Chain A
Amino acid sequence: MFHDVQTANRWRSVLLLGFSFALLVGVGAAISYSFDAGFAGLLIAVVVAVTSTWSAYWNSDKVALRITGARQVDETTHPQLVNVVQEMRLASGLPMPKVAVIEDPAPNAFATGRDPDHATVAVTTGLLERMNREQLQGVLAHELAHVGNRDTLVATLAVTIAGTLTILCDLAWRMSAFGGSTSRRRSNDSGGQLQAILLVVAVVAIVLAPVAAQLLHAAVSRRREQLADATAVAYTRNPAGLRSALEVLQQDSTVVRHTSRATAHLWIESPLDRDRSMWNRLFDSHPPLAERIAVLQAMERTAPGAQTAAPPSVPPSASSAWPVV
């Protein structure tokens, strides 16, 4: 069942990328049209689109890790963390990812990398301090679910494209402020209404494209969070671990220091200080924690092993002889 979801997700990723790319080229065309730049302008837009996507493909993980100040660790310094990652990657059948730690009191985690062979899972020191083994397992299962569902690549690519769009449109505005569009007036007598309409369409496209890209990305990202929660439970077979981890995150009000809207979608919980108006919620990269917790609670009630007291995924903790360290 989860393989079907993964396949569907991959197709959706391709569609999203194709759409973003078309949007980018379309906006490039609109800009070049409104400034009489002609074919050269379009070509520049395509080149910008290709290079930004290309560089995002190869470097997005390194950039994300550098922005957040993550540093790679191994089992000598963080035995339990690496052990739990190893457990979850065995459950998912993925190759072992790199493990990184971020010095930050806010509990949070993210995964990055263009494919499962180049994945990195990063957690904050705040998360390590506050989570027990079972909760840590839930969080890392969620992160590896992003890797397994191929979310990490599409998320970083989409954000790069949205960023490029924003810069491009910003540039167009500045140019028009300096009277770039006067050139169009030359042809006013012959061009007539059609050109005027096209110009309006171009301006509207330039204004709305970055917003559209953001909205689209946020919507896709929220669905991916829900899917990753479900996949995580398929790995651990234990909704309680992730549920209680999310509850810890809910109670916590510390905000991650090194972050911005550009990397917000990467984290397990939105790292931004949220203002809960309907308008802002449209741009949220994450569904509200309360919703995610409710879904996991529903899973706990319906799980076949719901009646047994022991958390099923951590067999040792079932008996008191194996304390959960």
Chain B
Amino acid sequence: MGVVITIAVVAVLGLLAVWAYNKLVRLRNRVDEAYAQIDVQLKRRYDLVPNLVETVKGYAAHERQTLEAVTSARNAAAGASGVAQVAEANNQLTGALRGLFAVAEAYPQLRASENFLQLQEQLTTTENQIGFARQFYNDSVRALNTAVETFPLMLLAGLAKATRREYFEVADEAVREVPRVQF
């Protein structure tokens, strides 16, 4: 009788461990995938920016300061590493781009150009995609962080190589979406 109970207990514990381990690995992979998605969108924006700068130059060459601000923000963002640094650099780039589009308002010919309109839709969607990918990433990070800090999943966190991750934070109040992640 005692043997049966022991075997049953061990079996249940084993199943629990398998479940916990798999869940942690799933959460960890989801965070990695979510970050990769942000990364793709950020790279796409880095590629779009030089085109935009060239297009604007054709119509508003003397807005040098704004154009240079965008270019240097883009280069800084492309060279950044680590979640916090990349997030910060990209917030700068978002701000610089916003400034550029504000300047473009004053040039009706520029705003009417086919090329500029296309770039505008592309940058709008890229901006949104970064926002939504970030939203999903932060949700995934929150799920992972909760899992590795609460019982019983925390017991297996080391084995599953699941550790706390950083949020992709938005410093700029104007860019911040509805605060859904409670830090």
Among the stretches B4-12, B45-53, B132-140, the one at the interface with A is B132-140
User: In chain B, what residue has the closest Cβ to A308?
Assistant: B178
Q: Given that A80-B121, A321-B101 are contacting pairs, would A87 and B177 also be in contact in the complex, using a CB cutoff of 8 Å?
A: no
Q: Is B34 touching A315 in the complex (CB atoms < 8 A)?
A: no
Of A83, A237, A318, which contacts B174 at CB under 8 A? A318
Chain B's nearest CB lies how many Å from the CB of A303?
6
B71 proximal to A (CB < 8 A):
no
Among the stretches A57-65, A90-98, A268-276, A277-285, the one at the interface with B is A90-98
The residues of A that contact B98 with a CB separation of less than 8 Å are 319, 321-322
Q: Is A314 touching B128 in the complex (CB atoms < 8 A)?
A: yes
Write out, one digit per residue, whether chain B residues 19-33 have a CB within 8 A of any chain A CB (1) or not (0).
Answer: 000000000001001
The residues of B that contact A238 with a CB separation of less than 8 Å are 178
The residues of A that contact B125 with a CB separation of less than 8 Å are 80, 83-84, 86-87
Q: Is B179 touching A90 in the complex (CB atoms < 8 A)?
A: no
Q: Is B177 touching A90 in the complex (CB atoms < 8 A)?
A: no
Interface of chain B, helix or strand or loop or mixed? helix
The residues of A that contact B177 with a CB separation of less than 8 Å are 237, 305, 312-313, 315
Q: Is B30 touching A315 in the complex (CB atoms < 8 A)?
A: no
Q: Classify chain A: how many residues form its interface, as a range.
A: 20 to 34
Of B105, B133, B178, which contacts A305 at CB under 8 A? B178
The residues of A that contact B64 with a CB separation of less than 8 Å are none
The residues of B that contact A84 with a CB separation of less than 8 Å are 125
Bound Cα distance from A319 to B99, whole angstroms: 10
Chain B's nearest CB lies how many Å from the CB of A230?
14
Chain B's nearest CB lies how many Å from the CB of A249?
23
Chain A's nearest CB lies how many Å from the CB of B180?
6
Q: Is B128 touching A316 in the complex (CB atoms < 8 A)?
A: yes
B102 proximal to A (CB < 8 A):
yes
B contact residues vs A (CB 8 Å cutoff): 30, 33-34, 37, 41, 98-99, 101-102, 104-105, 117-118, 120-125, 127-129, 131-133, 135-136, 140, 174-175, 177-180
21 A-B pairs, CB-CB below 8 angstroms? A79-B122, A83-B125, A83-B129, A91-B132, A91-B135, A93-B34, A93-B136, A238-B178, A304-B178, A304-B180, A305-B179, A315-B127, A319-B174, A320-B105, A321-B101, A321-B102, A321-B104, A321-B105, A322-B101, A325-B117, A325-B121
